[in-house]
Chain A
Amino acid sequence: MKSLLKILRDFPAYLWSGWGALASIFLFIAAWEIGNQVYGDLILPSPLETFQTLGALFGDSEFIENLMITLKRAMVGFGVSLVLGTALGLLAGFFVTASIVSRPIVTILMGMPPIAWIVLAMIWFGMGDATVEFTVIVASLPIVFVGALQGTRTLEDKFEEMADIFKVPKMMKFFDIYLPHIFSYVFPAWVAALGMAWKIVVMAELLATSDGLGAALAMARSQLDTATALAIVVAMVGLLMVAEYIFLEPIKREVEKWRD
């Protein structure tokens, strides 16, 4: 609770520090404009046209519906990864054997390209929600798992020893010694997994479904509607940036403030 208030209190200062980031984004848009002047509207529509199309899209109920479908799939996949990955990672971390056994499996899972999973999922689950959600889970769960595993494995005995001298009760030991340490590993993993989920969901939709942002993107491609395609991309990137920099980054800063 106290840290939540602290996050809110620091928020304006944090936003103020965003001018530099904003400037570099505008620089990027300027380069985009040059690209448009060189290659023409069909290859690279101008930023202005793209943002106008984006505005129009947000007034379009079909697009909003697609957006919601995609959001739902991403959240389901990410949610399952978060809960399951954290729980399994912690469990594996507390047992040496489990962590030794699980490591190679996780390496395989992480090394496998998501596109391969999509193909398999299409065969297993057909075209629809399950395929997309499965792919998202398979791609983002290992990230969370490794974060939780690492957090638990790196717990230091010396703090435990110190706590034992003070006869610290079990609950307090968990909240004051284990949790802050583990959380500082798990939270960044959650953020990385969210980014991964968001990228994978669109890719899976593009190949395996007839609705959602990915499908809308596929449609725009087949109609050679570059402006719409770019507008969708901008919407996707924009949403992720808002989630990451408005919500997650301030929390991360508060949580990791004590780190070197």
Chain B
Amino acid sequence: MARLKVENLSFSFGYETILDDISFEVNEGEVVSIVGPSGGGKTTLLRLCAGLLDRQEGKIENSFETQSIAFQDPRLLPWKNTLDNISFGLKALGVPTKERDARAREIALQFDLEESDLTKFPKELSGGMSQRVSFARALVTKPKLLFLDEPFSALDIGLKRELQDHVMRLIDKKEITIFFITHDIMEAIRLSDKILLLAPDPGHIVKIFEFDKPQAERNDEYVYAETAKILSDREIIETFELELK
């Protein structure tokens, strides 16, 4: 079984320690999220796991065959239209033009983009549309492991829900493993099997929350109840410096 295993990982930029002794595991078919205050090293951790930063201390074992990422900013190539941006990863894999166009179109329409949006350049797309395109680009290659850096943050509630549902269907079919960053605790609870709470200065894991209920069975009530429970957790309160009223 493929897994991403991080052991005693530490990382620093110059003299500033960003991450300190991080250990956790993401097993195939799991959804693991990181929550924590801004500046806590969440993005650095994600980039290390994705292989975009060179590891300094500790071990990262990543045995997934394929992976992809949706960044916080969409990073669409400005000189390519929507369709070509979505199919970019497929092109890199050497998928023939016809097939990659068909696959890109299919996923674009699933993500509520219009036929007329497919020939537009990124400058003509709204923030939410760009994010959907970026998300589609990450998913169209059917990666085994998907990294997400707050991919839903610029979307309105309806679209957010729709993309989350899409992800949940993939999770339900055990087709994907996800490691993602979020600011939204409800989102984390809705999607995750495990939530890592990352506290800053330097970034370290304070607590790991686990959820056993299958994602498909988590209704709003469950999410609200769990959110309320987590928000009264002592570690969460201290990490986010929440004031009790």
Q: Tell me the A residues contacting B by CB distance below 8 Å.
A: 158-159, 161-169, 172, 176-177, 180-181, 184, 257-260
Residues of B within 8 A of A258 (CB): 78-80, 121-123
Give Cα distance in the complex from A163 to B79, angstroms.
15
Of the listed stretches B16-24, B68-76, B230-238, name the one at the interface; the rest are far from the partner chain.
B68-76
For this complex, 12 residue pairs linking A to B, each with C-beta atoms less than 8 Å apart, are A158-B71, A161-B52, A165-B69, A166-B68, A166-B141, A167-B92, A169-B92, A172-B91, A176-B77, A176-B80, A180-B79, A258-B122
Q: Is the CB of A159 within 8 A of B75?
A: yes
Residues of B within 8 A of A158 (CB): 71, 73, 75
Q: Tell me the B residues contacting A by CB distance below 8 Å.
A: 50-52, 67-69, 71, 73, 75, 77-80, 88-89, 91-93, 121-123, 141
Partner of B52, one of A165, A172, A177, A259: A165
Residues of B within 8 A of A166 (CB): 68, 88-89, 92-93, 141
Given contacts A172-B91, A176-B88, A260-B123, contact A162 B79 (CB under 8 A): no
Given contacts A165-B67, A166-B141, A257-B121, contact A172 B92 (CB under 8 A): yes
Partner of A181, one of B75, B79, B122, B123: B79
Residues of A within 8 A of B51 (CB): 164
CB distance from A167 to the nearest CB of B (A): 6
Q: Is the CB of A259 within 8 A of B123?
A: yes
Binding site secondary structure of chain B: loop
Binding site secondary structure of chain A: helix
CB distance from A94 to the nearest CB of B (A): 20
Give Cα distance in the complex from A207 to B65, angstroms.
70
Given A162-B75, A172-B91, A184-B79, 19 other A-B residues pairs in contact with their CB atoms under 8 A? A158-B71, A159-B75, A159-B77, A161-B52, A165-B52, A166-B68, A166-B89, A166-B93, A168-B88, A168-B92, A169-B92, A176-B77, A176-B80, A180-B77, A257-B121, A258-B121, A258-B122, A259-B78, A260-B123
Give Cα distance in the complex from A260 to B124, angstroms.
9
CB distance from B84 to the nearest CB of A (A): 9
Give Cα distance in the complex from A13 to B80, angstroms.
23
Give Cα distance in the complex from A259 to B80, angstroms.
11
Give Cα distance in the complex from A196 to B123, angstroms.
32
Residues of B within 8 A of A257 (CB): 121
Which of A161, A172, A259 is most buried by chain B, counting CB atoms within 10 A of its CB? A161
Give Cα distance in the complex from A135 to B152, angstroms.
58
Give Cα distance in the complex from A163 to B78, angstroms.
14
Residues of A within 8 A of B77 (CB): 159, 176-177, 180
Residues of B within 8 A of A169 (CB): 92
Give Cα distance in the complex from A162 to B91, angstroms.
14
Q: Is the CB of B79 within 8 A of A165?
A: no
Q: Is the CB of B92 within 8 A of A164?
A: no
Give Cα distance in the complex from A8 to B73, angstroms.
36
Q: Is the CB of B52 within 8 A of A164?
A: yes
Give Cα distance in the complex from A164 to B53, angstroms.
11
Sorted nearest first, the 3 A-B pairs with minimum C-beta distance are A180-B79, A166-B89, A168-B92
CB distance from B131 to the nearest CB of A (A): 14
CB distance from A214 to the nearest CB of B (A): 40
Residues of B within 8 A of A259 (CB): 78, 123
CB distance from B8 to the nearest CB of A (A): 25
